[in-house]
């Protein structure tokens, strides 16, 4: 947890120099203003391919609770979706990067006051090479689409995201202020949503 907090702090310091927000590539979907990416590691060798880990993901497995919490900040789960056409969840160069993907599960979250909205996605890809490829595509001209139910005032220009390859899976956590609030601290909301990646550890056992 300390490592994740440190990473988020670095992202804040990096700010606009780190990454960008745009409606580029002819797309009108937002992307993260600050994006951190992480390639898979040898830790995930037991699930490096779908052949080694053939059991499909389920919504109940990935989103086991109605809320996610970190640092005293809680976000409520507003809805879930299971896609078999992974291209529906992404745009730009990420669409070609999801070739061979069999599942994309996503959930929409929001704080009780509605000031922060977020989502978590996981993609079931053929192998770790494909997962790394998708993570790279998310910072090179493509990104995920907002989940159903995301408010129109979701402010992508101030949003944070974390994209990880975990064996043959790729995950994206993405949070943003809603509306024009002067200052919203996204540190703990990001950690709360990104904490859903931990459920994949159970597949290593």
Per residue in 142-159, pLDDT (tens digit) is 999 999 999 999 999 999
Contacts of 101 (CB under 8 A, 6+ apart): 86, 123, 124, 125, 126, 130, 134
What is the count of structural domains for the chain? 1
CA distance 72 to 87: 35
Q: Would you list the DSSP string of the chain?
A: -HHHHHHHHHHHHHGGGT------TT--S---SEEEEE---GGGGGGSBTTTS-SPP-HHHH--SSEEEETTEEEEEEEEEEES-GGGGEEETHHHHTTT--EEEEEEEE-TTSSEEEEEEEEE-SBHHHHHHHHHHHHTTEEEPPPTT--TTB-GGG-EEEEEEETTEEEEEEEEEBS--S----HHHHHHHHGGGGGGGGGG-
Contacts of 2 (CB under 8 A, 6+ apart): none
Range of the domain at 169: 2-204
The arithmetic mean of pLDDT across residues 180-189, rounded, is: 89
CA distance 153 to 139: 23
Per residue in 71-120, pLDDT (tens digit) is 999 999 999 999 999 999 999 999 999 999 999 999 999 999 999 999 99
Q: Name the pLDDT band for 162 (thresholds 50, 70, 90).
A: very high
Confidence (pLDDT) at 25: 38
Q: Name the pLDDT band for 180 (thresholds 50, 70, 90).
A: confident
């Amino acid at each position: 947890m300390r490592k994740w907090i440190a990473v988020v702090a670095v992202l804040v310091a990096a700010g606009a120099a780190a990454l960008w927000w745009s409606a580029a590539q002819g797309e009108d979907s937002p992307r993260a203003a600050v994006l951190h990416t992480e390639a898979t590691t040898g830790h995930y060798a037991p699930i490096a391919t779908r052949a080694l880990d053939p059991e499909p993901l389920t919504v109940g497995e990935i989103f086991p609770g109605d809320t996610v919490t970190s640092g005293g900040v809680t976000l409520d789960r507003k809805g879930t979706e299971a896609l078999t056409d992974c291209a529906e969840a992404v745009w730009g160069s990420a669409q070609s990067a999801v070739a061979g993907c069999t599942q994309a599960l996503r959930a929409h979250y929001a704080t009780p006051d509605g000031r922060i909205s977020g989502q978590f996605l996981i993609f079931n890809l053929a192998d770790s090479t494909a997962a790394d490829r998708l993570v790279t595509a998310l910072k090179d001209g493509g990104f995920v689409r907002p989940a159903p139910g995301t408010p129109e005032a979701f402010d992508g220009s101030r949003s944070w995201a974390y994209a990880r390859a975990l064996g043959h899976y790729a995950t994206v956590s993405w949070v943003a202020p809603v509306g024009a609030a002067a200052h919203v601290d996204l540190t703990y909301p990001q950690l709360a949503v990104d904490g859903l990646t931990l459920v994949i550890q159970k597949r290593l056992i």
